[in-house]
Amino acid sequence: MRIDILLSFIVVLIGIYGLCTSKNIIKSVISLNITDAAIVLLFLSIGSSEGGDPPILNGTISSIVDPIPQALMITAIVIGAAITAMALMLSIKLFHYYGSLNWKDIMEKEG
């Protein structure tokens, strides 16, 4: 197994652990970003080939890298940035309404 895929998988697990254990909304958003970045790196590592050329036609098509995973990951980065902005905006609204960013406090005040 390649080391870059293993490290990406470990960082995904670290992000999921942060999502499961954080009591603060901002820490949850940061953990979600860590998971998102690690998944992007994992897909780019899987989609890359050693010694491959950029997908620009320069005469030979023998060993080019597939551009589809790269295009999909650019889209994932843009979607991740939009989700992060929305999550931070919602956390500001929650703080103004409930006076706390703690998940447990918000759930107690709601119920």
Could you read off the pLDDT of 9-39 as tens digits, one per residue? 999 999 999 999 999 999 999 999 999 999 9
Query: Does residue 17 fall inside a structural domain?
Result: yes
In CATH, what number is assigned to the domain containing residue 86?
1.10.287.3510
Query: Does residue 93 fall inside a structural domain?
Result: yes
Query: Does residue 27 fall inside a structural domain?
Result: yes
CA distances from 28 to 15, 16, 23, 111 (A): 9, 9, 8, 21
Given this model, what pLDDT does residue 79 score?
96
The tokens for 14 are 């670290």
Query: Does residue 61 fall inside a structural domain?
Result: no
Where do we find the tokens 């597939």? 66
Query: Does residue 90 fall inside a structural domain?
Result: yes
Given this model, what pLDDT does residue 46 score?
85
For the ranges 2-11, 54-63, 66-75, the lowest mean pLDDT is seen at 54-63
Backbone angles phi, psi at 102, to 5 degrees: -85, 130
Number of domains present in the structure of the chain: 1
Closest CA to 32 of 93, 111, 71, 90: 90
Query: Does residue 40 fall inside a structural domain?
Result: yes
Its domain, for residue 106, covers: 3-47+69-110
Long-range pairs, 63-72, Cβ under 8 A, ≥24: 69/43, 69/44, 70/44, 72/43
Would you say the pTM of this structure is higher than 0.85?
no
Query: Does residue 9 fall inside a structural domain?
Result: yes
The length of the chain in residues reads: 111
Query: Does residue 63 fall inside a structural domain?
Result: no
